[in-house]
Amino acid sequence: MTALAKLEPIKPPSERRPATIPKLPAWAESLHAAVRSEPQLVLNKQGQETFRDVMVLPPAMMPTEDQRREIENHIASLRYYLHQTPENTDEAETAMAMAITKLLAVLPSARRSEIGTDIRNDAYLDVLDDVPHWAVENAIRRWHRHSCGTDERGRPHDYKWAPDPGTLRVLAMDDVRSMLNRIDQVGVPLKAVEYVDCSDALERGRLAMRGLHKAMKDKGDLGALTFDKAVALGGQTEAPAPAQQPQTEAAE
């Protein structure tokens, strides 16, 4: 008997470089690519069946328990890193303060002032309080490498100065968005339902609407019009309009 192939795990980000997110294994990529939006019969708030576009997967590609567990664990690991902000943990606040202190020790501020170092550090921490410390550290690393692209106006950054708190926040949030996008991407198959072919039901609904319009046009008894009768009425082919006889030319 052939042993089942071991499921390739989804690698979490490196603890040293959380901003570098590993590529998804092939099975996770395939699941995400197979998800599509299709009209399905669902219950509305009144408990009635109605059609609504929902995310679906082919029955054969619905996530297994092991795949679902891998995805959930991966999402949990990403949320763990997103939680590492100064407002959440003392360790993150300490790491953030050290990174900012090193930045300002290496690069001067573009605006010269007599403001003390502690006050400047507090200004950075206030702006970056809800940003993961590792995202700020990576933004500072990119700044030192002159690899931060352009600013919000499309102008090149002036790397001889330290970035102001707002600019540093914008740069750090790039990594935060990348991690949030990964959470959305990998979690899509968990929200999908098993696809059910509703083409016959959709066609009956289309015919029923057509039958209703016919009944209204012909001023029929709408009170006696059931769904099945509307379907039958909508399925009736209209008789072609009689062809007009060509007019004969008047005799001279």
Provide the pLDDT confidence category of residue 244 given band limits of 50, 70 and 90. Answer: low
Distance from C-alpha of 54 to C-alpha of 38, rounded to nearest angstrom: 6
Task: Give percent of the chain above pLDDT 90.
Answer: 59
* pLDDT at res. 1: 36
CA distances from 3 to 6, 120, 157, 198, 219 (A): 9, 61, 56, 37, 68
163-184 pLDDT per residue, tens? 999 999 999 999 999 999 999 9
Q: What is the pTM of this model?
A: 0.75
Report the DSSP beta bridge partners of residue 150. 156
* Domain boundary assignment for the chain: 19-196, 201-235
45-63 pLDDT per residue, tens? 777 667 788 899 999 999 9
